[in-house]
């Protein structure tokens, strides 16, 4: 009887041990499969792809640095630790080194490219931007590269500086400054514009013995060499304009400019330019029908002058100022 009880107890004990061992082994395998991963092969992989892959596996990436490599493309992995195939727990670090590409490269062609694009290419190839010089060119667009040093196709070392010669566009023409003294303002403005010059500051004086609205002085002086686009300042013989019928009460010194197109059949291109404080700015530019009228508020500044053009021809000049 006692022997039978002992045998039953031993059987139960063995059963418990076997069940416990099986459960332990099963749990261990489950935990191990969930907490460990196999390290992938990152060699030659682009760094962004490698980062995403390791993140998906629950591993951390630690970039140890970068080195030049003639075999592995730039921004790709050239070294990793642990090695591919190793089993490690999630959350561990994978150390990598990134390729900077070959140390020596062929100099890219930058000629005829906009200088901003050339700078980007220089930076992308880990080259240094050197000196930038500029000159006029009849063939290369403004702000585009005319020449480069080192020249395209040369073998250069990363970090080497690249000097650029950039186009300033077509060289402006030179003119002999015409003599506009004694001319009426309406005659002088087209002469200035036809020589591709820009009207600058208009100042006023008044002489009884000089014709009204005639040019008393000019800068640059007649006969001087000027470049197209240069500014011409003039002094006009005119009285100071008093606040009268053109002045708008309550408009903080504003003046009313009115102009009515002549009758006809075709629309006309009307452009109104305000010259004030030495700067000319368009204040109206549109096509208008015959018989239409334009009303504009002009600031009541000293020496403000309005020029109205019909189809490119100056047809009206109006002076404004304060009394």
Q: What is the pLDDT of residues 61-106, one digit of tens each?
A: 999 988 888 889 889 999 999 999 899 998 899 999 999 888 888 9
**Closest C-alpha among 268, 305, 302 to residue 285:** 268
Kindly tell me if the per-residue pLDDT of 244 is higher than 50: no
What is d(CA 54, CA 186) in angstroms, rounded to the nearest whole number? 78
Q: For residues 205 and 250, state if they share a domain.
A: no
The verdict on whether omega for the bond into residue 127 sits within 30 degrees of 0, i.e. cis, is no
Is the pLDDT confidence value at 226 over 60? yes
Residues 182, 132, single domain; the answer is: no
Residue 31 lies in a domain: no
Name the helix (H) or strand (E) containing 276.
Answer: strand 268-276
Q: Is the pLDDT of residue 12 over 90?
A: no
Q: Which of the residue ranges 31-40, 83-92, 124-133, 155-164 would you say has the lowest mean pLDDT?
A: 31-40
Q: How large is the average pLDDT for residues 291-297?
A: 85
Q: What is the CATH number of the domain that holds 228?
A: 3.30.10.20
- Residue that finishes a domain, picked among 239, 263, 284: 239
Is 146 part of any domain?
A: yes
Query: Does the residue 157 lie in any domain?
Result: yes
Does residue 301 sit within a domain? yes
Q: Give the count of domains, the chain.
A: 4
314 and 251 inside one domain: yes
- Specify whether 306 is located in the same domain as 318: yes
- 15-33 pLDDT tens trace: 666 556 565 555 454 444 5
Place of tokens 């332990």: 24
Q: Taking all residues of the chain, what is their mean pLDDT, rounded to a whole number?
A: 84
Are 317 and 251 in the same domain? yes
Range 34-63 average pLDDT: 90
CA nearest 319: which of 199, 197, 209, 203?
203
Q: For position 295, which CATH number holds?
A: 2.60.40.2560
Which residues lie below 8 Å from residue 169, measured CB to CB, with a gap of 6+? 136, 137, 141, 142, 143
How much is the pLDDT for 8? Answer: 63
Confirm whether 27 is domain-assigned.
no
Token pair in block for residue 52: 């995403």
Residues 244 and 323 in one domain: yes
Q: Confidence class of residue 189 from pLDDT cuts 50, 70 and 90?
A: confident
- 54 vs 61: CA distance, rounded Å: 7
Write down which residue in 128, 150, 167 finishes a domain. Answer: 167
> What's the CA gap between 60 and 90, in Å, rounded?
8
User: Residue 249 — very low, low, confident or very high, per pLDDT cuts 50/70/90?
Assistant: very low
Query: pLDDT, tens digit, for every residue of 198-217?
Result: 888 888 888 888 998 899 99
Nearest partner of 94 among 165, 37, 144, 136, judged by Cα? 37
Please count the other Cβ atoms lying within 10 Å of the Cβ belonging to residue 158.
16
What pLDDT is recorded for position 106?
92
Query: Do 247 and 314 belong together in one domain?
Result: yes
Say yes or no to pLDDT of 169 above 50.
yes
Residues 208, 211, 213, 216: is their CA dihedral positive or negative?
A: negative
The answer to whether position 3 is within a domain reads: no
Count of CB atoms situated within 10 Å of the CB of 205: 12
The runs of H, that is alpha helices, within 106-158 are: 115-124
136 and 177 co-located in one domain: no
Residue 11 in any domain: the answer is no
The residue segments making up the domain with residue 69 are 36-101
Structure confidence at residue 295 (pLDDT): 85
Note whether 129 and 114 are same-domain residues.
Answer: yes
Of 84, 101, 118, the position where a domain reaches its end is: 101
Is residue 290, in this structure, part of any structural domain at all?
Answer: yes
Which residues on adjacent β-strands are paired with residue 147?
165
């Amino acid at each position: 009887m006692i022997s039978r009880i002992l045998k039953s107890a031993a059987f139960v004990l063995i059963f418990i041990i076997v069940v416990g061992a099986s459960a332990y082994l099963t749990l261990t395998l489950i935990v191990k499969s969930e907490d460990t991963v196999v390290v992938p092969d990152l060699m030659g992989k682009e760094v962004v792809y490698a980062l995403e892959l390791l993140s998906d596996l629950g591993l951390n990436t630690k970039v140890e640095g970068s080195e030049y490599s003639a075999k592995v493309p730039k921004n790709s992995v050239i070294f990793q630790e642990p090695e591919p195939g190793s089993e490690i727990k999630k959350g561990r670090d994978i150390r990598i080194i990134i390729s900077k590409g070959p140390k020596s490269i062929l100099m890219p062609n930058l000629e005829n490219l906009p200088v901003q694009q050339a700078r980007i290419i220089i930076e992308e190839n880990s080259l240094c931007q050197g000196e930038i010089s500029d000159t006029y060119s009849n063939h290369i667009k403004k702000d585009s590269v005319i020449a480069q040093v080192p020249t395209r196709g040369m073998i250069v070392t990363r970090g080497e500086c690249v000097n650029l010669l950039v186009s300033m566009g077509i060289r402006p023409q030179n003119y002999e400054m015409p003599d506009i003294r004694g001319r009426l303002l309406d005659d002088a403005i087209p002469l200035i514009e036809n020589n591709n010059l820009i009207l600058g500051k208009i100042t006023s004086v008044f002489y009884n013995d000089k014709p009204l609205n005639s040019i008393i002085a000019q800068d640059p002086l007649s006969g001087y060499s000027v470049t197209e686009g240069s500014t011409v300042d003039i002094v006009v013989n005119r009285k100071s304009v008093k606040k009268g019928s053109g002045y708008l009460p309550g408009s903080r010194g504003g003046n009313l400019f009115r102009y009515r197109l002549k009758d006809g059949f075709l629309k006309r291109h009307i452009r109104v330019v305000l010259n004030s404080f030495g700067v000319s700015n368009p204040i109206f530019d549109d096509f208008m029908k015959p018989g239409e009228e334009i009303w504009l508020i002009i600031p009541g500044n000293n020496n403000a002058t309005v020029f109205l053009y019909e189809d490119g021809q100056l047809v009206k000049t109006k002076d404004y100022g304060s009394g």
